Amino acid sequence: MPLRLSIISLTLVLSGCALDGRQSFMDPRGEVAWLQYDLFMLTVYVTFGIFIAVGGTLLWTVWRYRERVDDDPNEHPPQSHGNPLVEFVLIAISIGLLVIIAIPTVSAIVYTHGMPDEPDSLLGSYYHGDMSDGAEEEVLTIYAYGWQWWFSFEYPQLGIVTGNELAIPKGKVVRFELRSKDVIHSFWVPKLAGKVDMIPGRNNWMWLRGDEAGYFFGQCAEYCGESHAYMQFRVEVMEDDDFAEWVEQQRQTPPPPQEESWQDFVVLAARAPEKLVDEPAVRGAALFYGRGACIQCHAIKGTPAAGLLGPDLTTVASRKSIAAGWMEHHNDDFTINPERQYENFYRWIRESEKIKPGNLMYHVSGGMRDINLSDQDCHDLAAFMMTLRPDSL
């Protein structure tokens, strides 16, 4: 029985070890991840050599000096101890092995703790739009904030705010400023770089470079409460042109659902909802702005929604997952599947507490628990969420 149990648990443990799994650090696609991978493998080779040498000696000794039938139990084999030559050699080998590991480790620490000197990573070299003053000469910087249990990302130079999904240009060094809004989290994109803690009251930072275009999975790597395991994020590494297009898309603001301006729409939603067009997305927008609960925490750029506690929803429908990566709605080629997206919005609004236990949208005062949304309301809100996407998508 214990054997069967060990085999089952070993299988379960190792099933998380697919070498090219989506959160496998053993499939590096960025410079920092490569550096860390090489360092890891060097350490594995050295320690494996020690394991073979020590284990082999032990096995050989056990076999060589095993008890035989004709042994006299009162007679011991020849003993030896205190051989200075053997001890000196063993100590020298240990020091040598430590040095072999220490030199690349220290140089990797020094290398990753400074910005690499790469002029082509400057912002102005690949993005020529409207940027804050002097930003052309700066390295692309992203402020990443950890919250229970999701990530917000700000591009201060580009005026973009997004949640749980971010994009970076391929082959360019990107600087991350890592902050926490509540408890300690940790920022980790196994295939690109990691991990660096996000600590309240402390300004950590790191840089990374994605060397291959693709969609990469990130994860909070520091236990931070009930839904820690569900705290994921995504990094999309894009070719320069795609990145410039993404930047343009994310800077857009959604048009009002029916009236001339968002202000007019919100006034109408609150005072004369019967005058609104009877469409799911418009009814959803009226609920979103009219009930007050949503806009306490969520922002939609260019509209009266300016809450800061939840993810910015300006272009939420351009993301390929919601609920901090836990509800995915992309096809195998990472294009959005609209039916699944709608279903995810609906389910998340309807029963977020089942999907992500402890989530603040449900539990915080004024959240879902208190506003009694009907099933139809949840459908309408999902329809409104579906409209929050850039024109060109």
Minimum distance from CB of 228 to ligand CUA (Å)? Answer: 4
Among 154, 165, 222, 380, interactor with ligand CUA by CB under 6 A = 222
List the one residue out of 370, 243, 255, 341 whose CA is nearest residue 301: 255
> Cα separation of 352 and 348, whole Å?
5
**301 vs 142, 266, 312, 389, CA distance in Å?**
18, 14, 8, 12
Judged by beta carbon, residue 231 or residue 287, the one nearer ligand CUA is: 231
Cα 157 to chain centroid distance, Å, stands at: 21
> Cα separation of 223 and 225, whole Å?
6
Among 224, 268, 294, 295, interactor with ligand CUA by CB under 6 A = 224
216, two tokens: 């990469």
Tell me which residues in 14-73 interact with ligand CUA (CB under 6 A): none
8 Å CB contact between 155 and 198:
no
List the one residue out of 143, 137, 142 whose CA is nearest residue 121: 137
Bridge partners of 233, per DSSP, are 218
Among 51, 60, 88, 223, interactor with ligand CUA by CB under 6 A = 223
Judged by beta carbon, residue 166 or residue 285, the one nearer ligand CUA is: 166
List the one residue out of 19, 26, 28 whose CA is nearest residue 237: 28
Minimum distance from CB of 345 to ligand CUA (Å)? Answer: 23
**165 vs 195, 216, 281, 350, CA distance in Å?**
17, 10, 24, 22
Considering only the stretches 111-119, 123-131, 220-228, 360-368, report the one whose residues sit in contact with ligand CUA under the rule CB under 6 A: 220-228
Minimum distance from CB of 306 to ligand CUA (Å)? Answer: 25
> Cα separation of 330 and 322, whole Å?
11
Considering only the stretches 216-224, 248-256, 284-292, 381-389, report the one whose residues sit in contact with ligand CUA under the rule CB under 6 A: 216-224
Give Cβ neighbours of residue 39 (< 8 Å, ≥ 6 apart).
Answer: 104, 105, 108
Bridge partners of 209, per DSSP, are 173
Considering only the stretches 219-227, 254-262, 313-321, 346-354, report the one whose residues sit in contact with ligand CUA under the rule CB under 6 A: 219-227
Burial 332-366 (b: 16+ CB within 10 A, else e): eeeebeeeebbebbbbbbbebeebbeebbbbebee
Among 123, 178, 193, 220, interactor with ligand CUA by CB under 6 A = 220
Minimum distance from CB of 209 to ligand CUA (Å)? Answer: 24
Judged by beta carbon, residue 181 or residue 251, the one nearer ligand CUA is: 181
Q: Is residue 312 part of the contact set for ligand CUA (CB under 6 A)?
A: no
Q: What is the DSSP string of 168-234?
A: EETT-EEEEEEEESSS-EEEEETTTEEEEEE-TT--EEEEEEB-S-EEEEEEE-S--STTGGG-EEE
Bridge partners of 151, per DSSP, are 146
Site string for ligand CUA, 125-164 (x = CB under 6 A): ---------------------x--x---------------
Minimum distance from CB of 44 to ligand CUA (Å)? Answer: 27
Among 142, 231, 381, 385, interactor with ligand CUA by CB under 6 A = 231
Q: Is residue 228 part of the contact set for ligand CUA (CB under 6 A)?
A: yes
Minimum distance from CB of 185 to ligand CUA (Å)? Answer: 3
Judged by beta carbon, residue 32 or residue 220, the one nearer ligand CUA is: 220
Tell me which residues in 173-192 interact with ligand CUA (CB under 6 A): 185
Measured CA angle at 186 (ends 351, 251), to 5 deg:
70
Residues that contact ligand CUA, how many (by CB under 6 A): 9
Considering only the stretches 84-92, 223-231, 368-376, 379-387, report the one whose residues sit in contact with ligand CUA under the rule CB under 6 A: 223-231
Minimum distance from CB of 246 to ligand CUA (Å)? Answer: 26
Judged by beta carbon, residue 232 or residue 344, the one nearer ligand CUA is: 232
Exposed (0-12), middle (13-18) or buried (19+): which is 324, by Cβ within 10 Å?
Answer: buried
Tell me which residues in 334-393 interact with ligand CUA (CB under 6 A): none
8 Å CB contact between 178 and 206:
yes
Considering only the stretches 131-139, 160-168, 224-232, 340-348, report the one whose residues sit in contact with ligand CUA under the rule CB under 6 A: 224-232
> Interface with ligand CUA by CB under 6 A: which residues?
146, 149, 185, 220, 222-224, 228, 231
